[in-house]
Structure 1
Amino acid sequence: MEEKHINSFIHGKPKEIQELYAAHKNAFLNFGKKYGLDNDDLIDIYQEAFIALRKHAINGKLANVKSSLKTYLFGIGKFMIFDLLKEKKKTFTLNTDVLSEYSNIEKVDIEFENEELTIEQQLLRTHFKKLGKKCREVLTLFYYRGLTIDDIVELTDYTSKSVVRSQKSRCLKSLKEMIKPLRNE
């Protein structure tokens, strides 16, 4: 990560901080538009994500981060976007291999309200809770939050993309094995 920018945060250099803020703002707003939020919400999220980034720099949490500052900032912002969508109870489209294997569903629209769930969704919800913490984390980040393997490596303690891919694969296989006997009944 850019040491110069981290030092600007730590030492409170207003000019450099303002330049850094402006450097990624428009890109973030364009990135956020695909989630259907209005410009005011996206500006608020960007500001909150930027403040969180600065706090991470001050607290030394960026020392071992391998991603660029922009990628890290966008990762924080993406979490905040999903939290706002959940709060507003908007629909989010989730692509999932698990459900498509057991039915002909390729995309599942999940309402954040408790609407009626399909059998597959009920099975997925029930057995997802039985997975270990690491499995739930990886699958949530990948499928629910929509993060890439690279994003997951950058935002977690995983050491490489291959480790994340292997973990995701094992977790998905475990989930499928839990669901499969129930689908055959």
Structure 2
Amino acid sequence: MSGTKRTLNSLSDTDLLAGIKTGDGIERAMRFIYQSHYRMLESYVCNNSGDPDDAADLIQEVMVTFIELVQKDKFRGETTVKSFLYTLTRNLWISELRKRGNDAKRNEEFETSRDTLEADAAQYVMYKEAQKTIVALFDKLGAVCKQILTLFYYEDLSMKEILERTEYDNEQVVRNRKYKCLKELTDLVNSSPATFDNIKAALQRTK
């Protein structure tokens, strides 16, 4: 065992690369890298928002990438193996952190969008229910009040535009009639307090 350890510790970069490139010494080279450089690479990951499990997964990816680059003659020992492995680890880990950041951002955006959509849907349902209540009350006010209030609140017409759609003499007459209709509506609402909040919400929404 001690002889094997000495052999691993004495493996030069040149011998390591040659063994990987020919395919005959890959296992020996990987054992040497894990023995000599694993702690350094693990420390980098753990010191930069990672944990030992992250490091283990990433270092496996680093090893696969390193072997592929050597066998494709894209790394020929221009720098030390130690430096090259460190650079690979750093680049792959930065890429992973960016991916995690984007995933977190997408999840946050999705949750925000979903919450907004659910809130809008709930508000719309309440609004439609309130509208039904208002229409029913308008019917009880009679044709004249129903026409004026519908034109004002649902068609969003001004006093001048309502005057053009009705047979009143001037805008002030329309305004006075609208006031009386609202007074009648208020009396109806007061007779059924449970509908007040829905009526108020719907009138605010339409205006």
In the superposition, the TM-score normalised over structure 2's length comes to: 0.41
Greater share of residues in strand: 1
Structure number, greater radius of gyration:
2
In the superposition, the TM-score normalised over structure 1's length comes to: 0.45
Greater share of residues in helix: 2
